[in-house]
Structure 1
């Protein structure tokens, strides 16, 4: 008899071990919190012969216990119990198993649920759910239904063991959910950033009178700029900054720039355009968000700019003589007051440059902010550079500090190209004609004031560029032709070259240069072009041409051969 009881006890013990092991394996495989809670509750209730079971988790504020899953005749999912009261809280506070064989004799038992649901609670086992000794919830089983109406010490120990496994599984599922949520948020932010970047204009042709740059401080930006060529030849432009950060600011930025691109085609007065955008923003903006924005039109024929300002930093005009002119800005941002009329302001460039910028520009530099005066100093320092290169160099300097950017950087500059066309050189794709090309270019650069060193470097670079067209573009077909356009910008002391051909379209990514130390034919001119030119880019060619290679260089630039 004793041996049989021992065998029965051993058998029950093995079953308990197998149950704990199998439940632990299920918990390990489960990564969804709801599934983990469901498995925990049902399996524990079934194995311990309970009438009901539930899992309560502490809310993030630590003020209430919330029922996340329950099983049994009464559904109390979502039930909220103030933390600090009741048997659940007692189990967590003491971080130990609570065995209540008769709830009527326990002053912490809350009868409200029984009164409301007509359920009768007789006895409770309640174990805390804890990680590293810190409880975050509790699991309880109610009313033993087996042959014995009371929970035993052994069942209490089993629940304590199972609660430890369940706590780990719930914690793991929670962390997984948080990681997934963070990854989803990261993907949403990345997508918002992609959408934003797609709304910004692509780099225009080199001689286009506007150029802009946007550098987000984070994945998404609250700054924006845009420009659009209108059918009458004028160019609509805008630059703005949305209040706040994050996804909401990104959405308002995307909406504002889309409104501008749509409405600027019919609202040809900047003040009325801003008024129309303002009305649209007011209808849908929330959380006190607003937009500071400048919108305007530029007429390349008479170099006239007309713009309106809605609470943005005033533009800076650098006149052709180097004198700076500021403009007052006294109108409120978009999205604050409806029915506002925004005044138009007129600026004659007359060879000058108009700079629009966000506060991320003047506030760059950490404790030593750039400020308005610093921006003007920087503009002067790079004034001799071609437009696109000038803004890129300014942004490089703004980012050069050891501290990360505190705010987005956005710059937009408008100026009339001051290039004087010098020559259009047309040649057959015959290497023998390169001698005349070199002679003509040498004379043009010298007449513009280029030194012997810069002149010869330019001649070498252009000779190789033309040879690449002959050899690689036309495959030696001497019946083909190419064209070299030469211009000079006196204000900036810059030579501009545009090489046009009728060859198949070039993939710039496949063009590679090699070191000067690698002395053999081919590829050397590509090195010179990359090292010498301030700008070198394959641009969209005019109709009828295959490729357009744009190059520009300042005549006061040190050449590769002069560098130490």
Structure 2
């Protein structure tokens, strides 16, 4: 005759969560009593497939152990496991896992869980208790990892939104005798490329296009710092001093752990002369008479953030009416297609002298997406164009 086992699972309500308490990651709220049998608890697990673990509590609702579904069935699945363990009290197989006060800071708990779980690669459940060791719930190492991952994703999204507000996807500046545009396409939600266009008080145009080493949050912090610095900078101090001050700021903030390559330039649209500091970048082209040629910079410098005391060397370039100057980051020319091939800079920038600059940039990004179809974007892509009107 089949004997119906008793229902052993009981459930408490989740506590109200305040701030960053670890109770926020609680996921299991079922418990069993110390005198429940292993067999009855196993049958309750079968009836409730959504329950992954239960707390074991005494008559005063104090947590004395944890039973995980996977562990219990692993033990019962061994030869004669159910016969040997079935009628024993559940406390015989419960694990004495670490417990945490339910209002503890989730980040402090995460550090402790990380240290505890490094010894065991499987998912592990931990107890949540009140100030009297009363059962509040359970959370797993996966629960806390998922929570931290969601926070990280939120931070990335927020950083990307702030970066977008500071540095628009496209930046356009029009003068009497020239047009400038800068555009970026980040590989992820936030990037390490930085572009900046500004009409200076004396009428000249400041241009900067930089590529920060590495990606992610640290790189976006540098681009935010650059944006803030260049928004309020006193440009009467000159281009050399600007680069020196940016270099010092990057070194003081990141202690040689981050650097950036870039071109900082000032363009005089009356004389069509471009004065520039090439800080280890070098991806500069001029479109003239229907042809694109890469410009070799005579004075190249170390990247920004490598050495504290620098004396940037400047180069000069004079454009002709109708010329289009392009500065690009290496994400464009190093992108591979599905066959593992790359395109040179002259091929990418073909036709940049023709038509509207914004339309050309949008077309360039479309061509880039088509070229890499089926392949992940490897790096941020930024393009800055300056056209000396005929």
Q: TM class by shorter-chain length?
A: 0.5 to 0.7
| 1:56-87 deviation per Cα after TM superposition (whole angstroms, max 9, x unaligned) | 99xxxxxxx9733389xxxxx9799989xxxx
2: CA distance, partners of 1:229 / 1:407 = 29
- In structure 1, the residue matched to 2:331 is 360
Deviation at 1:39, TM superposition (A): 9.3
User: Of the candidates 335, 355, 358, which is equivalent to residue 385 of structure 1?
Assistant: 355
1: CA distance, partners of 2:213 / 2:270 = 36
Is the partner of 1:339 in helix, strand or coil?
coil
- In structure 1, the residue matched to 2:285 is 316
CA 1:45 to 1:377, structure 2 compared with 1: closer, same or farther past 3 Å? closer
| 1:148-199 deviation per Cα after TM superposition (whole angstroms, max 9, x unaligned) | xxxxxxxxxxxxxxx9xx7xx534xx55544443332222111111211222
| 1:451-492 deviation per Cα after TM superposition (whole angstroms, max 9, x unaligned) | xxxxxxxxxxxxxxxxxxxxxxxxxxxxxxxxxxxxxxxxxx
2: CA distance, partners of 1:222 / 1:393 = 22
Deviation at 1:53, TM superposition (A): 3.8
1:289 corresponds to 2:320:
no
CA 1:234 to 1:287, structure 2 compared with 1: closer, same or farther past 3 Å? closer
2: CA distance, partners of 1:176 / 1:327 = 54
Deviation at 1:298, TM superposition (A): 0.6
1:220 corresponds to 2:190:
yes
2: CA distance, partners of 1:340 / 1:357 = 24
1:411 corresponds to 2:383:
yes
| 1:396-448 deviation per Cα after TM superposition (whole angstroms, max 9, x unaligned) | 21121212321111000112122xxxxxxxxxxxxxxxxxxxxxxxxxxxxxx
CA 1:138 to 1:244, structure 2 compared with 1: closer, same or farther past 3 Å? closer
| 1:225-257 deviation per Cα after TM superposition (whole angstroms, max 9, x unaligned) | 111001111011100011111111111121123
**TM, length-normalised to structure 2:** 0.66
1:251 corresponds to 2:263:
no
1:203 corresponds to 2:194:
no
1:229 corresponds to 2:199:
yes
Unaligned runs of 5+ in 2: 34-54, 69-95, 103-108, 128-134
1:303 corresponds to 2:272:
yes
**Number of equivalent positions:** 310
- Equivalent residues in 2 for 1:14-25, closer than 5 Å: 20-22=8-10, 24-25=11-12
Deviation at 1:21, TM superposition (A): 3.6
- Equivalent residues in 2 for 1:61-80, closer than 5 Å: 67-69=98-100
- Equivalent residues in 2 for 1:4-15, closer than 5 Å: none
1:376 corresponds to 2:346:
yes
Unaligned runs of 5+ in 1: 1-13, 58-64, 72-76, 84-88, 93-129, 140-162, 419-564
Please say if residues 365 and 398 of structure 1, whose CA atoms lie closer than 8 Å, have aligned partners that are also in contact. Answer: no
CA RMSD of aligned residues (A): 4.2
**TM, length-normalised to structure 1:** 0.47
User: Of the candidates 160, 166, 177, which is equivalent to residue 193 of structure 1?
Assistant: 160
- Equivalent residues in 2 for 1:334-345, closer than 5 Å: 334-345=304-315
CA 1:281 to 1:49, structure 2 compared with 1: closer, same or farther past 3 Å? closer
CA 1:53 to 1:214, structure 2 compared with 1: closer, same or farther past 3 Å? same
Please say if residues 316 and 324 of structure 1, whose CA atoms lie closer than 8 Å, have aligned partners that are also in contact. Answer: yes
Please say if residues 37 and 69 of structure 1, whose CA atoms lie closer than 8 Å, have aligned partners that are also in contact. Answer: no
With CA pairs under 8 Å and 6+ residues apart, which has the higher RCO, 1 or 2?
A: 2
Please say if residues 55 and 69 of structure 1, whose CA atoms lie closer than 8 Å, have aligned partners that are also in contact. Answer: no
Deviation at 1:303, TM superposition (A): 0.7
Is the partner of 1:170 in helix, strand or coil?
strand
2: CA distance, partners of 1:21 / 1:197 = 51
2: CA distance, partners of 1:250 / 1:384 = 33
2: CA distance, partners of 1:347 / 1:280 = 28
Please say if residues 241 and 358 of structure 1, whose CA atoms lie closer than 8 Å, have aligned partners that are also in contact. Answer: yes
